Structure 1
Amino acid sequence: MSKPTAVIRRLAFILPFILLCAACVQLQPLAPSNQPHQPDQSQTNTTELTMELTLDLIAAAEQGDIETVQSLLAQGAAVDAANSRGVTPLIAAAYRNQLAVAKVLIDAGADVNVQDRTQQSAYLISTADGYLALLKLTLANGADVHSLDSYNGTGLIRAADRGHVEIIAELLQTDIDIDHVNRLGWTALLEAVILGDGGPRHTEVVRLLVDAGADINLADSNGVTPLDHARQRGYEAMVTILENH
């Protein structure tokens, strides 16, 4: 037998074994890695930078620092980003009545209707705290007068219980629900009487509401009307207004 022929026969004999071994190697599963998954460092850095910009913007807005607010916005800080309490830069500015900063933020696209975790918005804060200029600013930029606070109350109810005459007058020029009932079972008129002090400001609030068509017969959950409450408290000026309508 020639040498080439012998070699060929040997190869023919061992070739199946070679192919079988190769297949086994290919099918062998990869050993599981004991190394924990490593997060993308660039993504982590970006997230940290974004949060840092957000917190800095909120702090600057609260302090009324217009230059810093503008600088942070130019660096890419998100105008409606919020902290862990849901407070946005605009809400932070509203709490401190930082009107100039609020204007800058709104011009940059801030949403006046965003609410934090306590259901406060720039608009609702202005109604409760008596910030008339801020209220007008939010109304001019799409404030939703039908938005509700944590007591299911409108801005009108919030202003009524605090005796904010100018806020009441401004809100009555909108299509706000004058007889909306909150979670306590009270309307703006009831709150002005029940939570008011019977003094000139709350009395004027009662007059404004009644003149605007508030239902004087809409009682609380116990069936007590605004007039009954006024009489019980000895608020004679309110009694006179309610009796004459």
Structure 2
Amino acid sequence: MYGFLPLSGSRMWCFLVALLMAAAPHNGAFAQTPLVAAAESGDLPALQRALHAGAPLEERDAQQRTALMAAVQANQTDAARLLIEAGADVNARDSIQDSPYLLAGARGYLEILRLTLENGANLESTNRFGGTALIPAAERGHVETVRTLIAAGVDLDHVNKLGWTALLETVILGDGGPDHVAVAQLLVDAGADTDIPDRTGVTALQHAKRGGYAEIVAILEAAGAR
């Protein structure tokens, strides 16, 4: 009869994880499809092989990501282009309600964003916070992304679940630096409503004054903001 050897805390944890994985149903919960894996790593030959072998463009992994979504998350531009040209859905949602279009906008992946805009991006779609692609792009100071989304026709004054527009997020969550100043100018020049307040009644101008963002204050005051 074999004796039982005591396991240390870390070894016991690994042992339990192994048991759980062995006992889990083989339903793909721990697996990655070849198409999604190739897209995420930017392995174009493997991606092409998977497509030629008949892998469905819209197959999902455990996070409900399509291959295109995985490519966008990893900023694999060439892989994203190949998939979009093959007909991948730029609006397909993952488990947290992101889409390739929304994520490219939020992260400022400009080349991929342009590909999505040229291939059916839904400009009215919103993320889990109820925001359009423009709002997080503005918040993060992605100047050229904001310029591109404005030109595409995204609603300048859309209000998300937090009660903020793109302009409000630029001021509230930005740092008042050159990129956020440029974004504020782009939004104002495009006709964004400067007087939409947040849920507490505070406007972008009032937030900018509180933050000491003198350049944004000047932009807003020049536009007649209150």
Question: TM-score scaled by structure 1?
Answer: 0.78
Residue 171 of structure 1 pairs with residue 156 of structure 2: no
Aligned to 2:103: 125
Aligned to 2:81: 103
Tell me if structure 1 keeps the 8 A contact 2:97–2:127.
yes
Superposition pairs for residues 73-152 of structure 1, below 5 Å? 73-152=51-130
SS of 1:100's partner is helix
- RMSD of aligned C-alpha atoms? 1.7
Q: Which residue identity lines up with residue 69 of structure 1 in the other structure? A: L
Instruction: Count matched residues.
Output: 197
Q: For 2:116 and 2:75, locate their aligned partners in 1 and report how far apart those are by CA, in whole Å.
A: 12
Q: What stretches of structure 2 of length at least 5 have no aligned partner?
A: 1-25
SS of 2:151's partner is coil
1:28-76 Cα offsets, whole Å, 9 max, x none, are xxxxxxxxxxxxxxxxxxxx9x999971111110000000000011111
SS of 1:118's partner is coil
Q: Which residue identity lines up with residue 56 of structure 1 in the other structure? A: P
Aligned to 2:19: none
Q: Which residue identity lines up with residue 84 of structure 1 in the other structure? A: A
Structure 1 runs of 4+ aligned residues shifted over 3 Å read 50-54
Q: For 1:63 and 1:56, locate their aligned partners in 2 and report how far apart those are by CA, in whole Å.
A: 11
Give the structure with the higher percent helix. 1
Q: What stretches of structure 1 of length at least 5 have no aligned partner?
A: 1-47
Tell me if structure 1 keeps the 8 A contact 2:139–2:173.
yes
Q: Of 205, 208, 218, which residue of structure 1 is paired with 2:196?
A: 218
Residue 227 of structure 1 pairs with residue 200 of structure 2: no
Tell me if structure 1 keeps the 8 A contact 2:39–2:76.
yes
Tell me if structure 2 keeps the 8 A contact 1:53–1:72.
no
Q: For 1:105 and 1:172, locate their aligned partners in 2 and report how far apart those are by CA, in whole Å.
A: 25
Structure number with bigger Rg:
1
Deviation at 1:120, TM superposition (A): 1.1
Question: Percent identity between the aligned chains?
Answer: 50
Q: Of 19, 42, 48, which residue of structure 2 is paired with 1:70?
A: 48
